[in-house]
């Protein structure tokens, strides 16, 4: 399983403040064990035919960002079992009330990336057009003689150099935009968890993305993820709060 780093974005008005948070797990039944794995909190849940391991995808989470967890699933039964992302549930607990948290699927993330690529292509197109316009007008200028006479001139050499430079820059910008998009889509394909049939003895896993939990005035946020594997239900209780608390 691979980690996909979470990019921290500071959007606070008037300056940036630390908004990192950490998570902890609570074993809710005798078939679960909260532990540390490579310095990170984790939870192992065992049911009749499957074992699920959950840990955060990063050592710290963005306070108002999407929580991302790495989920590993093992089928230790004798029959194939089904895992479906649509059957994963997430619920935030606020006082005596529960509120659903959307599971952000691979398809949703892929569409977001496509939208980002469209926006990036538009900005790249504007930059390319600006370069082309500047190159088209390169080599032209005005002059003023000591006697006050003015005129215009054109240098084919300067124009050719500017146009060649613009073509090189435009090609590089377009290639970088395409390469970034392809790299991001490949990362999603490789890391995000999807529907899967697990054969006996097989491990499968990937990243599970959730919609951000509702902020609790900077306090602790608690929520539950229910991961269904075949007929097994793995209930994962999580507390998320400011780092260092």
Q: Which two tokens stand for residue 194?
A: 């999807």
Residue that has been written with the tokens 């316009």 in this structure: 133
State the fold for domain 20-104+193-242.
Immunoglobulin-like (2.60.40)
Q: How far apart are CA 53 and CA 34, in angstroms?
A: 10
Segment 147-155 long-range contacts (CB within 8 Å, at least 24 positions apart)? none
Query: For residues 241 and 228, what is the distance between their CA atoms, to the nearest angstrom?
Result: 26
SS3 track for 3-43: CCCCCCCCCCCCCCCCCEEEEEEECCCCCEEEEEECCEEEE
- Binning pLDDT at 50, 70 and 90, where does residue 143 land? low
pTM of the model: 0.73
pLDDT at 6 over 60: no
pLDDT of residue 7: 33
* pLDDT for residue 24: 96
* Tens-place pLDDT, residues 69-82: 999 999 999 999 99
What whole-number percentage of the chain has pLDDT above 90?
A: 51
Take residue 85 and report the two structure tokens written for it. 């992302």
Judge whether 181 and 71 are in contact, CB under 8 Å: no
pLDDT value, residue 146 = 81
Q: What are phi and psi of 244, to 5 degrees?
A: 90, 0
Per-residue pLDDT, averaged over 205-213, amounts to: 95
The rounded distance, in Å, linking the Cα atoms of 212 and 144 is 64
């Amino acid at each position: 399983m691979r980690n996909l780093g979470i990019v921290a974005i500071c959007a606070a008005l008037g300056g940036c403040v630390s908004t990192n948070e950490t998570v902890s797990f609570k074993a809710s039944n005798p078939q679960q064990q909260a532990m540390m794995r490579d310095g990170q909190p984790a939870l192992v849940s065992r049911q009749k035919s499957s074992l699920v391991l959950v840990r955060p995808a990063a050592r710290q989470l963005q306070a108002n960002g999407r929580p991302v967890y790495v989920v590993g699933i093992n089928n230790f039964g004798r029959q194939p079992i089904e895992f479906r992302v649509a059957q994963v549930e997430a619920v935030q607990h606020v006082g005596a009330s529960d509120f659903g948290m959307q599971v952000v699927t691979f398809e949703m993330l892929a569409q977001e990336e496509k939208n980002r690529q469209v926006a990036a292509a538009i900005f790249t197109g504007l930059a390319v057009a600006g370069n082309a316009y500047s190159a088209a007008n390169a080599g032209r200028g005005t002059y003023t003689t000591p006697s006050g006479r003015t005129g215009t001139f054109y240098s084919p050499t300067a124009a050719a150099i500017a146009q060649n430079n613009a073509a090189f820059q435009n090609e590089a910008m377009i290639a970088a935009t395409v390469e970034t998009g392809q790299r991001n889509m490949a990362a999603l394909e490789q890391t995000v968890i999807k529907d899967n049939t697990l054969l006996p003895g097989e491990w499968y896993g990937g990243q599970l993305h959730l919609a951000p939990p509702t902020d609790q005035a900077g306090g602790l946020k608690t929520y539950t993820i229910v991961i269904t594997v075949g007929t097994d239900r793995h209930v994962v209780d999580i507390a998320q709060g400011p780092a260092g608390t």
